[in-house]
Amino acid sequence: MNEGLIECVPNFSEGKNLETIEQICNSIKKIKGVTLLDVDSSEDFNRTVITFVGKPKSVLEAAINCAKKGIELIDMTKHSGEHARMGAVDVVPFIPINNSSMEECVSIAEEFAKEIGKEMQIPIYLYANAARTSERRLLPNIRKGEYEGLNQKITQKEWIPDEGPQKFVPKSGATATGARSVLIAYNINLNTNDKTEANKIAGTIRTSGVLIKDEQGNKILDEFGKPKRKNGKFTDLQAAGWMYDKNTAQVSMNLLDYNKTGMHLIMEEIKKEAAKQDLLVTAGELVGLIPLNALIDSGKYYHSNPDSASIEELVDSAVEGLMLNKLDLFNKNKRIIEWAANKEMI
């Protein structure tokens, strides 16, 4: 069996300084055996998501390289942005793509954490499949309190870093790294500038649902003193209301397992929920890249005759149905992981 391919999607807390972003990208490009697939920067989020693939050793080397460069260049004491974050190099996930395993990605994440924690002297947390405790499996748990709350959080026994020092480093914050399945960052825009409307929809669809409150608006607690929740419609889905721009509210989502919760199911449900609020869906937005099979699944839903359609036709139907071509041209050869890498990954 050929040596497998690993995807790495590091998130940096910098979306405005093009020179800094370019230097981080160059630190990846110099590593032999790695292909840089996508660089997605947002000024409002002040965040850049980079995607690259390659052989395991090369991906680890590139991840270490770009993390060191990000820690060197980004100053969290001057950072502000819409997206939740806790560090200059906020999160570095490793993802099995082809002929590679989750166990292999866990090992790579552990090596990365040890190297960066020791050499750069910043706190590192292992999450998802690399987590060493159940509380650290979910990234939002680790990020809770964000950068501003890290100074106090890191002193708590339950939040001792997995690698690196147990201290607050103002310039760099902390970094999370781990191994996970392919995550699809998919957002849907609404024809309103009211973020609360997007939040309402997010609460009805996300796995965690919403808090249950009494008539006075107080949280209702269970027998253990924890707030009760009404679960959302879908599994393996994170969602929240954001602002795409000053005039457009957005349901921002992470699909943790597209095999269980497909993009087309989410799109159609948000259309229904939006209609209840006299709103319309105006566009879909994909952040980063997407696996081919995810679009094929949605294409089978939207195509009028999926059994006789080619893969290309199914992809086109998915792009149309998911409204991925409304905000900008959707370049299939750059946005689909397998096609962008120009390799046989299926």
The tens digit of pLDDT for each residue in 58-97 reads 999 999 999 999 999 999 999 988 788 999 999 999 998 8
Q: By percentage, how much of the chain surpasses pLDDT 90?
A: 79
Separation CA 245–CA 326 (nearest Å): 15
Kindly state whether residues 329 and 232 are assigned to the same domain.
yes
Q: Which residue has the higher pLDDT, 293 or 195?
A: 195
Q: By percentage, how much of the chain surpasses pLDDT 70?
A: 98
Are residues 56 and 100 in contact, defined by beta-carbon separation less than 8 angstroms? yes
Kindly state whether residues 253 and 135 are assigned to the same domain.
no
pTM: 0.71
Q: Are strands 124-128 and 175-179 parallel, antiparallel or unpaired?
A: parallel
How many domains does the chain contain in total? 2
pLDDT > 70? residue 343: no
Among residues 269, 273, 279, 286, which one has the least CA distance to residue 332? 286
Residue span of the structural domain in which 145 resides: 5-179
- For 11-25, what is the mean pLDDT? 96
CATH number at residue 270: 3.30.70.670
**pLDDT in the model for residue 228:** 77
CATH number at residue 127: 3.30.990.10
Residues with a known catalytic role: 83
What pLDDT digit, counting tens, does each position of 286-323 carry? 988 888 889 999 999 999 999 999 999 999 999 999 99
Q: Which residue has the higher pLDDT, 130 or 226?
A: 130
Residue 42 DSSP SS3: strand
> What's the whole-number average pLDDT of the chain?
92
**pLDDT in the model for residue 150:** 96
